[in-house]
């Protein structure tokens, strides 16, 4: 099944990935694997990890018993399956190589310190949640304060005009995958950044095990972002307490 054809790349939340994704999908249509199609997009600019230039490889190259994150840190190879989850993961690697590299470095440090066990621990759990479900949210302080207070009407209705100065980028690849079938309840872990920040450089500089374990993210129902879903043009959209909880 051509799983990539089910994606509507015109969705507004996919805008940062659209141009490269459409090229990858053309390669998939011609029979390429996801790994090979992603590698073709980085011939001129390969994001490096500590082990060298990054490559996407087939999942079977991950040795049995070796942690996925440790393998990436050791080899600069990202095990990649032919599915949507790994397609989105690869696209995020290509768009935010420095931030993905930082997350991988932190994961590798945790593995080196504590080894592999049935439980990941607070820091590795936080790293995984960021990697899978984070949104990078540049917004005026008034919006950040409203989201912090779960004041949904102020956030999305009475101060709606402030969203013109905001920027929301979905980073988590599991989050992007879930939004292939949009549901009102889908919620991102939003990391607030100043509107004038370089998102990637800022997070690479400040992310630490302590900050990740402190869970500084805020819950942002993605389809509530103005301009991202037609139904949210009506204020009643935000009165659904099953999603917009106090």
pLDDT value for 181 = 97
C-alpha torsion sign, points 49, 131, 145, 229: positive
Residues 39 and 103 in one domain: yes
- Cα 138 to Cα 211: distance, rounded to the nearest angstrom: 18
Residues 6+ apart with CB under 8 A from 32: 40
166 belongs to a structural domain: yes
Tell me the whole-structure pTM to 2 decimals. Answer: 0.94
Residues 198 and 109 in one domain: no
Residues 223 and 170 in one domain: yes
pLDDT value for 49 = 59
Residues 59 and 34 in one domain: yes
- Cα 141 to Cα 139: distance, rounded to the nearest angstrom: 6
Residues 23 and 62 in one domain: yes
6 belongs to a structural domain: no
52 belongs to a structural domain: yes
Residues 111 and 144 in one domain: no
Q: How far is CA 18 from the centre of its chain?
A: 14
Select from 199, 146, 204, 211 the least CA-distant residue to 170: 199
Note down the domain range covering 89: 13-118
pLDDT per residue, tens digit, the chain (246 aa), is 699 999 999 999 999 999 999 999 999 999 999 999 999 997 545 555 565 789 999 999 999 989 999 999 999 999 999 999 999 999 999 999 999 999 999 999 998 887 666 666 789 999 999 999 999 999 999 999 999 999 999 999 999 999 999 999 999 999 999 999 999 999 999 999 999 999 999 999 999 999 998 889 999 999 999 999 999 999 999 999 999 998
Domain finish residue from 118, 152, 182: 118
pLDDT value for 215 = 87
Number of domains in the chain: 2
126 belongs to a structural domain: no
Provide the Cα torsion 110, 111, 112, 114; round to 10°.
Answer: 80
């Amino acid at each position: 099944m051509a799983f990539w054809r089910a994606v509507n790349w015109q969705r507004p939340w996919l805008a940062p990935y659209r141009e490269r994704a459409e090229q990858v999908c053309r390669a998939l249509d011609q029979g390429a694997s996801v790994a090979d199609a992603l590698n073709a997009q980085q011939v001129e600019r390969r994001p490096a990890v500590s082990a060298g230039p990054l490559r996407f490889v087939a999942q079977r190259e991950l040795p049995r018993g070796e942690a996925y994150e440790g393998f990436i840190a050791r080899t600069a190879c990202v095990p990649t399956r032919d599915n949507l989850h790994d397609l989105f993961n690869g696209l995020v690697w290509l768009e935010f190589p420095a931030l993905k590299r930082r997350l991988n470095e932190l994961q590798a440090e945790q593995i080196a310190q504590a080894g592999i066990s049935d439980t990941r621990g607070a820091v590795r759990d936080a790293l995984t949640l960021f990697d899978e479900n984070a949104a990078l949210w540049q917004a005026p302080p008034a919006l950040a304060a409203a989201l912090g207070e779960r004041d949904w009407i102020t956030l999305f209705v009475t101060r709606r005009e402030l969203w013109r100065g905001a920027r929301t980028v979905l980073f988590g690849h599991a989050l992007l995958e879930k939004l292939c079938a949009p549901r009102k309840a889908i919620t991102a872990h939003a990391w607030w950044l100043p509107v004038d920040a370089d998102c990637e450089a800022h997070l690479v500089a400040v992310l630490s095990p302590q900050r990740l374990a402190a869970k500084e993210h805020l819950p942002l129902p993605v389809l509530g972002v103005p301009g991202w879903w037609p139904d949210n043009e009506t204020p009643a959209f935000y009165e659904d307490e099953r999603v917009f909880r106090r």
